[in-house]
Amino acid sequence: MPIRPEDFSYVSKLVREASAIVLEAGKEYLVELRLQPIAQQAGLATLDKLVEKLKQDPTGPLHKRVIDAMTTNETSFFRDLHPFETLRKDVVPELIRKRADTRTLNFWCAAASSGQEPFSTMMMLRENFPELASWRVNYIATDLSRDMLARCREGKYGQFEVSRGLPAQLLVKYFDRRGTEWQIKEDIRKAVDFRELNLMKPWGPMPTMDIVFIRNVLIYFDVPTKRDILLRIHRLLAPDGYLFLGGAETTVNICEEFESQVIGRTTCYRPKQRVKV
Ligand SMILES: C[S@@+](CC[C@H](N)C(=O)[O-])C[C@H]1O[C@@H](n2cnc3c(N)ncnc32)[C@H](O)[C@@H]1O
């Protein structure tokens, strides 16, 4: 049964307030598709019954499940490839030179989904920069979705997932076969600090970051929310740090504290250097 307009408004408001994700008119089909299974699991026959239950218990666990279900978790290993090439060829070698005194590199992946993005970066670092074995490489990977974070910590992927973007030699080298699935090796899993973090809430203490990946998540937010998040990233990023966004995302006309820089085949964003007067 189609969702009633008043129930769609209730769900959109709830999701927007909790996660900043904007569900515009026309996204009713998505709400129906994603919430039907939750209603069924909760023993509720229809979506209006689910909404009734949400209203009765506005802080209950069902809310978290609804918000999790409304996140889009599409991702893949080495997604878009070029950002990882730019990291490998330009960004990481430059930062290794610049951070030779502290021998520390800080990475943040701010919408980790099921973990392919942080694990792709870790594999790329292991393959190309053996000298980093004696450095402190801090990799924080965060997401709003507890289901996704559980998947990240387990690091298990089906055949379809490992066939998307992951070169066969990396699969063989960094994964163990577990029945029909593949699990990324424990030392890589343990090298990433997975944390629950809602981008629209306070982030808690974080180190100054050298590289921030926040790809394919800002697209779901309105402009003031994008600006607020980008400004906070600006404060967190080292003056010579690098910000990577998704291919359909930009800081231009949203947060003028960044400037874009094309490196190889990737557009990166850098904190604008203030001119001293
Ligand atoms: C499409 S995935 C992007 C995954 C990966 N960065 C990539 O580009 O392949 C978007 C992720 O953003 C997360 N997300 C959505 N809203 C969020 C919020 N308010 N705070 C933190 N993460 C959020 C979702 O849970 C989802 O895993």
Judge if 257 and 175 occupy the same domain: yes
| Residue-range definition of the domain harbouring residue 12 | 5-70
Tell which one of 17, 65, 71, 206 to mutate to probe ligand 1, the residue whose CB is within 8 A of the most ligand atoms.
Answer: 71
Judge if 87 and 35 occupy the same domain: no
In this prediction, residue 60 carries a pLDDT of 84
Structural domain ending residue among the three candidates 70, 98, 122: 70
In this prediction, residue 1 carries a pLDDT of 76
The parts of the chain modelled with pLDDT lower than 70 are 274-277
In this prediction, residue 277 carries a pLDDT of 60
Judge if 119 and 38 occupy the same domain: no
Judge if 29 and 122 occupy the same domain: no
- The pTM assigned to this predicted structure is 0.95
Decide: 91 and 211 in contact? Cβ < 8 Å. yes
Judge if 157 and 192 occupy the same domain: yes
Distance CA 117, CA 78 (A): 7
In a domain, 77, yes or no: no
C-alpha distance from residue 173 to each of 54, 184, 185 (Å): 46, 9, 9
Structural domain ending residue among the three candidates 48, 70, 92: 70
Structural domain ending residue among the three candidates 26, 44, 70: 70
In a domain, 122, yes or no: yes
What confidence tens digit (pLDDT) does each residue in 62-110 have? 999 999 999 999 999 999 999 999 999 999 999 999 999 999 999 999 9
Decide: 49 and 39 in contact? Cβ < 8 Å. yes
**Pocket, ligand 1, Cβ cutoff 6 A:** 19-21, 71-75, 79, 111, 113, 117, 143-145, 148, 197-200, 215-217, 246
From the CA of 18, give the closest atom in ligand 1.
19
In a domain, 75, yes or no: no
From the CA of 148, give the closest atom in ligand 1.
27
For ligand 1, the distance from its centroid to the CA atom of residue 109, given in whole angstroms, is 10
Judge if 55 and 94 occupy the same domain: no
In this prediction, residue 273 carries a pLDDT of 80
Judge if 53 and 101 occupy the same domain: no
Number of compact structural domains in the chain: 2
Q: Which residues contact 9 (CB under 8 A, 6 or more apart)?
A: none
Judge if 92 and 59 occupy the same domain: no
What confidence tens digit (pLDDT) does each residue in 153-166 have? 999 999 999 999 99
In a domain, 98, yes or no: yes
In this prediction, residue 157 carries a pLDDT of 98
